[in-house]
Amino acid sequence: MNPTYLIYTAIVLVAIGTALVLTRKSLLFILIGIELILNAVNLNLVAFNHLYPQNVNGQTTTLFIMAIAICETACGIAIMIQVARQYKTITPSSIQDLKEQA
C-alpha cells in the first residue's frame, strides 16, 4: 500500500478537526475535533513508519498518543458533565462566570 494515500487522508482529518474546533459552539464537537486531529497524527506516524519498517518508533509513539487521547477524552467528558450540571448548557460562549469582568 502506498503511504501517500494515508498522508492525504491525515491531511483531510486535520482539516476537518480544525474546522470543528474553530467553528462549532458545542463542547462535544470541539472534543470530537481534537480527537480527529490526534487520530490524524497517529495515521501520519503509521504511514511514515511504513516507509521505514526497521524502526518501530512510529508505532510505539502511536500507542502512547492513543493512551493520551483516551485520558483526554475521559477528562473532557467529565468536565463537560460538570459544566452541564452547573450551567445547564455545554456551549462555551454562554458560560459567563469565568470571563474577565470589563
pTM: 0.80
What is 3-91's CATH topology?
Helix Hairpins (1.10.287)
Could you state, in order of their start, the residue ranges of all structural domains in the chain?
A: 3-91
State how far the Cα of 10 lies from the Cα of 60, in Å rounded to an integer: 18
Closest CA to 10 of 62, 56, 57, 70: 62
Q: Alpha-carbon distance 27 to 83, whole Å?
A: 10
Reported as a single tens digit per residue, the pLDDT across 13-30 is 999 999 999 998 888 899
Q: What is the mean pLDDT of residues 81-98?
A: 81
29-74 pLDDT, tens digit per residue, is 999 999 999 999 999 988 888 888 888 888 888 999 899 989 989 9
Residue 28 to residue 77: CA distance in whole angstroms: 8
- Residue 98 confidence (pLDDT): 61
Tell me, what's the pLDDT at 78?
Answer: 93
Greater pLDDT, 102 or 37: 37
Confidence of residue 88 (pLDDT cuts 50, 70, 90): confident
CB 70 within 8 A of CB 33: no
